[in-house]
Amino acid sequence: MFYKITLLIFSLIISGIFCQTDDEESFLFVTKQTVNRFIVQDKELTIKYSLYNSGPTTVFNVNLNDIHSFPQDQFELLVGTLNPKWERINADTNLTHVVVLKPKQSGISNSTHAVVTYQKSEKNAEIQKTYSSEIGDVYIMTSREYDRRFSSHIIDWILFTAMASPCIVFPFFLWFKSKSKYELLVTKEKSAKKAQ
Amino acid sequence: MLCLSSIIFTFLALLAFAKGENCESPQFKITSYSTKDARLTAESAAQVEITVKCKNGKQPSTLYADINGQVVPCAQSAGSPGKYYLGVSAATHKQLAKGRTSVKLYDDDTYSALRKTRTDDAAKAVKPFGEVDFYHPGASFGPWLPSEFIAVIGFGLVWWAAYRERSKILA
């Protein structure tokens, strides 16, 4: 009796091991990141999707859908597409897809996972669905806040000079007038003395 | 008899159509984007959108691009066919080469020919489907001299001239 049970358990374990090694499956890992340090309203927001095929086989018919994360009324699509597809991704390759958006509103915005579907083999039409990583809650600052820190402020300085110039130019003008009158007098005296 | 001949005929017709699938004398139009503001972003990224126009109206089913020595498939838009996207990312701003980068494009046939080669020289000898290049102007870190610096220098000069005249008068 004991013999039979151990044989059964042993065979179950062996079959378990064999079942695992029979299936050589590839997995597609997708990460979604932003390269921006700050997300600013009306400035470019670059999203980078990295797809990595870790497995030993090629995956087919890869379709990435992220249209739901960036609705048209809140984000304007500048470059790239939010729904790219690849016919095949070879084993052990790393792919990047770049999308550039422009946020139209400021405040806190949440962006969820992108949905990626792919087929593990060309013949098997079974679709595997996987989710990318998410960026989560981000704060979109207004363009005024960003400009306060980073713009070149040249216009501000020009305005400041224009407003400060009466304070400087008016006394300078008085001094210059009296100086030129004094120098004129001195040269007149000198020439008069020389004539004498 | 008729059934068999019709099957053979459709098979041959399919073959003929499949052969005509190849894109002949392609013309490429590219729109490229690359990171320009280095203070807003931590890394650099670039995206090239390639529109392929073939003489016989067919579109290559997959387009592969040789970027920085690595051959990757280009993404296609599910919405609009004929547009292929190639994304490049760099870990630092300096790693994305400034200036013109040439990208070789391969379609299915040329890509399989490339994969069959074993040596680097043979790989270089494979004639690519096309070649495009994109221009990266470099990511800027902002103005060279901050405007506050220039303002301080300017007002400092004015003050120094006035001080010189004042000491002349007082002396």
Pairing label, strands B75-77, B27-34: unpaired
Whether B150 and B73 map to the same domain: the answer is: no
Q: How far is B86 from chain A (nearest CA, A)?
A: 7
Give the residue among B75, B82, B52, B23 at the shortest CA–CA distance from A50: B75
CATH 2.60.40.10 fits A23-150, yes or no: yes
pLDDT bucket at B168, cuts 50 / 70 / 90: confident
Domain that holds residue B93: 20-140
Indicate the pLDDT class of residue B9, thresholds 50, 70 and 90.
low
Amino acid at A90: N
Residues B63 and B115 in one domain: yes
Q: Would residue B3 count as lying in a domain? A: no
Q: Which of A140-144, B5-9, B41-45, B89-93 has the lowest mean pLDDT?
A: B5-9
Report chain A residues touching chain B, CB-CB < 8 A.
35-38, 40, 43-44, 46, 48-50, 63, 78-81, 83-89, 93, 95-100, 146, 150, 152-154, 156-157, 160-161, 168, 172, 175
Alpha-carbon distance of B42 to B92, in angstroms, equals 7
Chain B residues with a Cβ under 8 Å from any Cβ in chain A = 31, 33, 35, 37, 39-47, 49, 61-62, 72-80, 83, 85, 87-89, 142-143, 146-148, 150-151, 154, 158, 162, 165
| Average per-residue pLDDT for chain A | 85
Q: Is residue B156 part of a domain?
A: yes
Q: How far is CA A191 from the centre of its chain?
A: 76
- What's the CATH code of the domain at B135? 2.60.40
Can you say how many angstroms the Cα of residue A94 is from the centroid of all Cα atoms in its chain?
19
Does any domain span residue B33? yes
State the helix-helix crossing angle for B147-170 and A154-195, rounded to 10 degrees.
20
Question: Could you give the number of structural domains in chain B?
Answer: 2
Q: In what order do the strands lie in the sheet with A115-119?
A: A127-131, A115-119, A59-65, A84-89, B75-77, B83-90, B44-53, B27-34
A36: left (phi over 0), alpha (psi -120 to 50) or beta: beta
- The residue among A49, A150, A156, A171 whose CA lies nearest residue A99 is A49
Domain layout of chain A by residue ranges: 23-150, 152-196
Mean pLDDT for the stretch of residues A57-71: 88
Q: Give residue B160's pLDDT.
A: 94
Residue B55 covered by a domain: yes
pLDDT tier for residue A22 given thresholds of 50, 70 and 90: very low
Q: Could you tell me if B86 and B65 lie in one domain?
A: yes
Best residue of A96, A159, A179 to probe chain B, by most B CBs closer than 10 Å: A96
Does pLDDT of B156 surpass 90? yes
Evaluated on CA atoms A116, A29, A60, B130, the torsion sign reads positive
**CB–CB of B24/B37 below 8 Å?**
no
Mean pLDDT, rounded, for B39-44: 87
CB contact under 8 A, A83 and B77: yes
Residue B2 lies in a domain: no
Same domain, B90 and B135: yes
Query: What number is the ipTM of this complex?
Result: 0.74
pLDDT for the residue numbered B103:
87
Res A49: pLDDT: 92
- Domain identity same for B52 and B75: yes
Q: Are residues B118 and B38 in the same domain?
A: yes
